[in-house]
Amino acid sequence: MVNTIDSAVQHAINGGATSPAAQKTGEDLRNNFMTLLVAQLRNQDPLNPMDNAEMTSQLAQVNTVSGIEALNETLASITGQIDAGQALQAAGLIGKGVLIPGDRLLVGEEGATTPFGVELQSRAEQVNVNIVDGSGQIVRRFELGALNSGVESFVWDGTLDDGTLAPKGAYRFTVEALSDGQQMAHKALNYAQVMAVSTHYKDGPRLDLGGVNEPVKLDEIRQIL
């Protein structure tokens, strides 16, 4: 009798049992354990009583199951609060401009352009930016000099190398980050506007950027403009 209870408790703790006893809730398991324990105490052989140490061990395992259930409920509650907080934070970004990983750059009327940026893991001695048109030609080059680690944002004035305004349309930009003459790790960042928030994703809310970029998670935002 005692060994049967011990097996059920152990399976419940491991979470992989398939027996009916292992599928019971912690409360059912405790109730059944106490019923069986009382019955065994009433019917035990006085000359060969049950082992106190073994009974104590089984009681401890039953309490462990209760503790795991309480911990799971607490974690579920915390997770729900975190999800709600993330959704609220994401909703506060609607209508705002953000920098996210990407190399897109748009030119509008009269040379108006969208911001862009670069993220560096460490200080760069020299950072250069090339603006590239749809045919792959470099139409403007910037030498930004030394930049510290972190995120820096910039705005192109919309003029080409020859001083004329860039035609309206989509462009790309490339970044060269150098240290001791060697390329170093960096990430190009492009501008997008948050249009809406989607909350049906399993890994948390995502920001809808109006179809220009795929929806992104909050941790992909590098700067809010």
Smallest CA-to-CA distance from 151 within 106, 112, 98, 104 is with: 98
Burial 11-40 (b: 16+ CB within 10 A, else e): bbeeeebeeebbebebeebbebbeeebeee
Q: 80 phi and psi, to 5 degrees?
A: -60, -40
Residue 8 has pLDDT above 90, yes or no: no
Specify whether 105 is located in the same domain as 59.
no
- Answer yes or no: is pLDDT of 126 > 60: yes
Clarify whether residues 101 and 80 are in a common domain. no
> How many domains would you assign to the chain?
2
33 and 48 fall within a common domain: yes
Name which of 119, 77, 103, 96 is nearest 172 in CA terms.
103
Same domain membership, residue 176 and residue 103: yes
pLDDT digits (tens, 9 = 90+) for 66-115: 677 777 777 776 766 666 666 777 788 899 999 999 999 999 998 899 99
- Residue found under tokens 């992909």: 220
Angle between helices 26-43 and 52-91 (to 10 degrees): 170
Same domain as 140, residue 103: yes
pLDDT exceeds cutoff 90 at 189: yes
Provide the pLDDT confidence category of residue 178 given band limits of 50, 70 and 90: very high
**Average pLDDT, integer, range 156-170:** 93
pLDDT at 3 > cutoff 60: no
Range of the domain at 124: 97-224
What pLDDT sits at residue 110?
Answer: 87
CATH code where residue 190 lies? 2.60.40.4070
CA distance 20 to 6: 14
Distance in angstroms (rounded) separating the CA atoms of residues 20 and 38:
21
Residues 87 and 179 in one domain: no
C-alpha span between 128 and 188 (Å, rounded): 12
Query: Per-residue pLDDT for 45 more than 70?
Result: no
Among 91, 115, 145, give the residue marking a domain's end.
91
Enter the pTM of the model. Answer: 0.61
Q: Domain ends where: 91, 126, 155?
A: 91
Q: Give the pLDDT mean for 178-204.
A: 89
The answer to whether residues 214 and 112 belong to one domain is yes
Q: What is the mean pLDDT of residues 34-49?
A: 70
Coil vs helix vs strand at 69: helix
Phi/psi for 93 (5° steps) reads -90, -5
Do 33 and 114 lie in one domain? The reply is: no
In whole angstroms, give the CA distance from residue 217 to residue 211: 15
* 103 and 57 assigned to the same domain: no
Least-confidence region, from 11-15, 54-58, 77-81, 114-118: 11-15
User: Any idea which of 1-15, 69-83, 204-218 has the lowest mean pLDDT?
Assistant: 1-15
Closest CA to 142 of 133, 154, 150, 130: 130
DSSP string, 97-158: EEEEE--EEEE-GGG-B--EEEEESS-EEEEEEEEE-TTS-EEEEEEEEEE-SEEEEE---S
- Burial of residue 78 (number of CB atoms within 10 Å: 0-12, 13-18, 19+): exposed
Same domain, 111 and 77: no
Task: Judge whether residue 48 has pLDDT over 50.
Answer: yes
Q: Which of 58, 91, 124 is the last residue before a domain boundary? A: 91
